[in-house]
């Protein structure tokens, strides 16, 4: 059981506060006590489980298809996230079979090998920075394998990815320029890769995208670029952040860690519970398409709202023991991958990476803890940790 302590006071803009990022669950509880929707400087945030589910289930009222909801400098919409019905259905018909569990399971041996190769690089030292030495390189290596790009280009790819998700600059204008530059580089990079697959197919996702067909229609190059952009946003840092949050929790909760070591069969349900409790993707944006009321809270056409997945996942009205971390929770109907038609396309791959990392790591490194004196610095939005120093005996 993991217990949390509450502090006095409430800041409606606290969703991006560093102290809240380190321990968000008490803040979520206070937010829900104020209503289904709370308003801050940056706009309304939907915080109760029922209201979040409503937003996910009604894309006609809470649109994800307006590009300005997520502008990372790309020239194409991220597919299928930034496409609403009816076109959205076409893309899911094309893409769901490609990202189905059976397809993703084919690369599990590769993922296990990558995890062990990364562990080989630090296990003899008895310490590591988990963030830089495993959590960051693992999902990007898996991505390169899936799309058939050389693993030797990992550092180049990480640089382009960080240019999008962690742009440099002293202010927002400079950061936007940096982000736009990185976006152009990524589009050029993948456009060249797609053209290469046109000339010669391979056993990879880019080739599968080119061959996929629904009702006689194939994906265009721009559509494939939009899919790759979404993959970068929703499939790389999100897995990195999940790994960081998971291992930070386990390093500080030895009873939960020991449960995984003693009974590896619990790993699938542990992954689901840690996704619920930690909720690394704390929220997602939507645009309100018409004036409406949500659980008695007025919203207006054009409002940019945040759907607080983290708060929904700890809502005690929907889940009375929400503040207990229970690896035996079944079923576990968390919203960590969103909900409705825009539920995360890559959820099966993310789960596979998380399960495989937990299994391989705990077979080789069953006892670990935070390095002495370590202070974890969390960021919100995507809930990430700047550095996660671990010490262990193998």
Please, what sign has the CA dihedral across residues 185, 189, 192, 198?
negative
Q: Can you give the pTM of this predicted structure?
A: 0.92
For 11-70, how does the pLDDT look when each residue is reduced to its tens digit (9 = 90+)? 888 877 878 888 999 999 999 999 999 988 888 999 999 999 999 999 999 998 764 556
Query: Residue 327 corresponds to which tokens in the numbers above?
Result: 């690896």
For 211-265, how does the pLDDT look when each residue is reduced to its tens digit (9 = 90+)? 988 778 888 999 999 888 888 777 778 999 999 999 999 999 999 999 999 999 9
pLDDT band at 3 (very low <50, low <70, confident <90, very high): very low
Strand-strand pairing, 304-308 and 384-385: unpaired
| pLDDT for position 78 | 79
* Nearest alpha carbon to residue 233 among 156, 177, 179: 179
Residue 381: pLDDT over 90: no
Beta bridge partners of 393: 367
Angle, in degrees to the nearest 10, between helices 172-199 and 221-235: 120
Query: Residue 107 corresponds to which tokens in the numbers above?
Result: 């690369």
| pLDDT for position 214 | 73
For 11-24, how does the pLDDT look when each residue is reduced to its tens digit (9 = 90+)? 888 877 878 888 99
| pLDDT for position 394 | 63
| pLDDT for position 41 | 80
| pLDDT for position 70 | 64
Residue 310: pLDDT over 50: yes
| SS3 of residue 127 by DSSP | strand
């Amino acid at each position: 059981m993991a217990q949390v302590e509450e502090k006095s006071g409430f800041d409606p803009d606290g969703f991006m506060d560093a102290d809240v990022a380190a321990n968000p669950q008490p803040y979520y509880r206070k937010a829900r006590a104020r209503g289904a929707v709370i308003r801050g400087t940056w706009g309304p945030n939907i915080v109760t489980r029922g209201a979040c589910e409503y937003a996910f289930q009604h894309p006609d009222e809470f649109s994800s298809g307006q590009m300005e909801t997520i502008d990372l400098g790309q020239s194409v919409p991220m597919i299928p996230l930034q496409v609403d019905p009816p076109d959205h259905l076409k893309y899911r018909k094309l893409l769901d079979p490609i990202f189905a569990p059976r397809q993703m399971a084919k690369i599990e041996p590769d993922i296990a090998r990558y995890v062990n190769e990364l562990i080989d690089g630090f296990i003899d030292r008895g310490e590591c920075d988990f963030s830089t030495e495993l959590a960051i390189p693992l999902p990007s290596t898996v991505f390169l394998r899936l799309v058939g790009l050389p693993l030797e280009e990992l550092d180049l790819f990480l640089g382009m990815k960080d240019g999008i998700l962690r742009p440099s600059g002293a202010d927002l204008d400079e950061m936007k320029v940096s982000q736009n530059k990185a976006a152009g580089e990524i589009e050029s990079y993948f456009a060249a890769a797609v053209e290469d697959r046109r000339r010669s197919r391979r056993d990879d996702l880019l080739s599968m995208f080119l061959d996929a067909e629904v009702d006689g229609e194939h994906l265009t190059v721009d559509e494939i670029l939009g899919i790759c952009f979404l993959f970068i946003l929703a499939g790389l840092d999100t897995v990195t952040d999940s790994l960081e949050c998971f291992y930070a929790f386990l390093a500080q909760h030895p009873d939960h860690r020991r449960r995984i070591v003693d009974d590896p069969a619990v790993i699938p349900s542990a992954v689901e519970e840690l996704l619920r409790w930690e909720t690394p993707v704390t929220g997602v944006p939507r645009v309100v398409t018409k004036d409406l009321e949500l659980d008695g809270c007025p919203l207006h056409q054009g409002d940019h709202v945040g759907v607080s997945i983290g708060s929904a996942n700890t809502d005690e009205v929907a889940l009375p023991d929400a503040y207990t971390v229970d690896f035996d929770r079944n079923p576990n109907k968390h919203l960590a991958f969103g909900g409705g038609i825009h539920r995360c396309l890559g959820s099966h791959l993310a789960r596979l990476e998380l399960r495989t990392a937990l299994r391989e790591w705990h077979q080789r490194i069953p006892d670990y803890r935070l390095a002495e004196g370590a202070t974890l610095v969390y960021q919100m939005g995507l809930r990430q940790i700047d550095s996660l120093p671990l010490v262990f005996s193998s």
